[in-house]
Structure 1
């Protein structure tokens, strides 16, 4: 088991701690639904909420945190800078906007959401905001090994995390070797494979679920936790929301971990290096003040 894992907490390379299991709010509508989902997640025991400027629900997240009755210091909030605000000056505006929409004095983790354009300029603004305490930790997202090597050597501060697609069918082994050199944590989106039936019905996983009296999702998430990942399972089902936290009453053996590692195909559903992706993303979302 990961040596830094203690009561669901992982220590980042900047010394800050992050809950290993988070609740994501991608594609949950602002103005009520996201508010309700975050309140439900906090009630279920989550203390890590993952949002983004381009999710358009930072206001609901902030309101739910304030109304939860839980101390702000006990809740870890992640948000992300969108492409339209890249570059040094743009990022300063984007950070200020996120803080304003969340109605918070600081954000626990702030990420470069998509790795295109003036990433170094945006990163510099994020480093300055971190020095001022407005951002506690900073990181990146969707960086492949090639993209990582094109940007990160220009950074003064190493990212604390790289949030990427990751699950047993796509274990990001090459990327992990790069991240481990600087103790950068992999944060997994689509940790359950986005409902991939082949993954959820894989006999290795279903066999382990039967052995431990767990559902297949819990076995997958337990594997990822033992690999040292920060995971962001998403569900709108209250039972599943709670179940995705019930991961600490069993442990896979090293033999079982090796079995799970053999499931890797090396391929995911999202290719950050795809031609024209940056232009598609820029035109897809426009964040208003």
Structure 2
């Protein structure tokens, strides 16, 4: 006996109606057009990376290259040490993830489950910083790091990551959903608060932690403005390196080679988010603000 299927929004009986078929057809066409419009930049970047210089500047430009020049990818390595900048990106990301999740996680747990004096005012203080434009505290952050002698070091990324109010907001709302009875039982058995965090809060928080890790990766991968201010060329992450050395006006690199570099940098985040998108959607839903 087959298990009953879940009831969909529209049943087979609904599809017998002509109006429903027409409306559903327009919906499918709309979704397909939106998908094509979103995929076109990625496909066009990839195909341009395989064209010759003549084909790239031809008018009207051909959509598909006449010959697939994979040599462009090999030539791109002569202009950009992509492995060096990829390693820099991973270093920055690993430090950001460790510092932000450690400090924001402990702070969120304290504000959610411990008797902290003026808890609401502290939470309000951190949440209010989300309303301040990032550009307004860019220069103060730069001057503070300069006075500390941390320019051109990865600490210029790691220290600000320890005060991420967005992470704090998400984690507080998630931790508040953990039943207090579980924590009380652990305390009765002699567990310390730190043990409660490691043994109960962290295992239950895997979905939201994975979500924040993926969002943090996207932020570091795409960053170029802050990193171009605080780091020199040899320590730049991949996004800033490409902008500074490949995209910036005055670069003499052939455009087909530039697109080869851009294609290589598109692949890791695209693959990552393709396979982990369910964690992002699920994690943000779990950590959403509750009414």
* TM, length-normalised to structure 2: 0.21
Specify which structure has the bigger relative contact order, considering alpha-carbon pairs within 8 angstroms and separated by 6 or more residues: 2
More helix by share: 2
Which structure features the higher share of strand residues?
A: 1
